[in-house]
Chain A
Amino acid sequence: GAGVSQSPRYKVAKRGQDVALRCDPISGHVSLFWYQQALGQGPEFLTYFQNEAQLDKSGLPSDRFFAERPEGSVSTLKIQRTQQEDSAVYLCASSLGYWTSGSTDTQYFGPGTRLTVL
């Protein structure tokens, strides 16, 4: 079946512009995650959705970052007034979302959106 897809794959923005990054999770996956991966680093957690509910946004770096998943499937990560330090790869992941004992509930990742802010 289809995996997690993200669009656009590459985005170049001028400092101060707003950007919107889209994630299409695997069909039927309850949980959706956004991670930020700076150059040469491992991914870092940004936010987590269970269906349409945003249960954790503790990793969002500032109030310029906003994420939504209004119908419990597609999610959008929006960054307002982009800054150079926002340049990174933004990864979306989804999982079935069942945290039962012994279940790996593996997170499956999309290809990411590489954001460059000039």
Chain B
Amino acid sequence: AQKITQTQPGMFVQEKEAVTLDCTYDTSDPSYGLFWYKQPSSGEMIFLIYQGSYDQQNATEGRYSLNFQKARKSANLVISASQLGDSAMYFCAMRNSGGSNYKLTFGKGTLLTVNP
């Protein structure tokens, strides 16, 4: 069974600094996808970035980048130049390419607070 672990319940960062949110995963499938979502207090899950298990390069989307270390089964999210609007819950999720390849399995999330 797939499992996502986010060990940081909360993180604090100063505005304009970079922050890394940790995510480790466990799966026996060789093909899978990793996602990061942001959930502000309004409740909507906002897609941020995707990394495929066979992708050769780490994914980047604007200020977001994914530090993918396949051998260590980690997929940490790096947010550069933090902004006050980045304060939210962040969830790491995984989808396998096997039988139930549509389901997302989520971690428990990390609450990021950006201080002015």
Contacts and interface: CB of A to CB of B under 8 A. Distances in A.
A31 to B, nearest CB: 6
Contact-size category for B: 20 to 34
A41 interface: yes
B50 A104 contact: yes
Interface of A: 31, 33, 35, 40-45, 48, 56, 89, 91, 93, 95, 99, 102, 104, 106-112, 114
A42 B106 contact: yes
A59 to B, nearest CB: 8
Contact of B108 (A31, A41, A91, A102): A41
Interface of B: 4, 33, 35, 37, 42-47, 50, 52, 91, 93, 97, 100-109
Contact of A112 (B43, B50, B105, B107): B43
B33 A104 contact: yes
A44 B45 contact: no
B104 A45 contact: yes
Contacts of B105: 45
A106 B47 contact: yes
Nearest to A9: B43
Given A42-B107, A110-B44, A114-B43, A102 B52 contact: yes
A112 B44 CA distance: 7
Q: Which of B33, B44, B102 has the most CB of A within 10 A?
A: B102
